[in-house]
A and B are shown apart, each in its own frame.
Chain A
Amino acid sequence: QVQLVQSGGEMKKPGASVKVSCKASGYNFISYGITWVRQAPGRGLEWMGWVSVFSGNTKQAQKFQDRITMTTDTSTNTAYMELKSLTSDDTAVYYCARDLAQSVSYCGFWGQGTQVTVSS
């Protein structure tokens, strides 16, 4: 079955960077894109960006354009999201999600989430 297992929680200081991993199993990793979504405490879902595992092409939300890097490693079936220049507003649970189907980029399968806390 499709599984996405994310890395553990992180505590970061303002100005630092964080890199969250998302290890996929149960399907052909290269055939489906990966989306990153975050959720601040008590808030709604916020789309951050999407990466094509096949081509490496990315789309990102304008809000994160200068700070986010999304990559994949097909040798380990792992996707990564790095966010730079963290502030307290970046405190959130970060989710990875797999496309529902090939060329259908709704978030059909989700990781368990990674808590990132930014505090001095």
Chain B
Amino acid sequence: YVLTQPPSVSVAPGQAATITCGGKNIKNRSVAWYQQKPGQAPVLVVYDDTDRPSGIPDRFSGSNSENTASLTISRVEAGDEADYFCQVWDLSSEQWVFGGGTKLTVL
């Protein structure tokens, strides 16, 4: 199962950023999103399409429909600059699959 993410997204501070994750009938799967800053381990920011772990600001939100899942970061801050990866469980191969990642640049 292949997940396709844009290599990069740029946004001005205070604006909203949307990062997409394309996959065949992805709406039928539960999607997670991870944030990774340079030199650090990833951090789970959204799981089960729309849920946030404890401590993740509500500026981070997820959605999932048809063939595209999305992570939206509202009121973007400089500290949101990072790589973002989507993840789904592939039933056919019984393994987790990650998207290639999207570098979010805050202008």
A contact residues vs B (CB 8 Å cutoff): 35, 37, 44-47, 50, 59-62, 95, 100, 104-108, 110-113
CA distance A62 to B97 in the complex (A): 12
Q: List 21 A-B contacts (CB under 8 A).
A: A35-B96, A37-B42, A44-B98, A44-B99, A45-B85, A45-B87, A47-B87, A47-B97, A50-B96, A59-B94, A59-B95, A60-B95, A62-B95, A95-B42, A100-B44, A106-B32, A106-B44, A106-B87, A108-B44, A110-B42, A112-B41
Q: Please state if A47 and B95 are interface contacts (CB–CB under 8 Å).
A: yes
Q: A62-B95, A100-B47, A106-B47 are known contacts. Are A45 and B41 too (CB-CB below 8 A)?
A: no
Q: Given contact pairs A95-B41, A104-B47, enumerate 6 new A-B contacts (beta carbons under 8 Å).
A: A44-B85, A44-B100, A45-B87, A59-B94, A106-B44, A108-B53
B28-61: CB near A (< 8 Å → 1, else 0) gives 0000101010000111100100000100000000
Residues on B lying within 8 angstroms of A by beta carbon are: 32, 34, 36, 41-44, 47, 53, 85, 87, 93-101
Pair count A-B, CB < 8 A: 50
Instruction: Report Cα–Cα, A105/B97, bound state, in Å.
Output: 13
Identify which of B53, B85, B95, B99 contacts A61 (C-beta below 8 A): B95
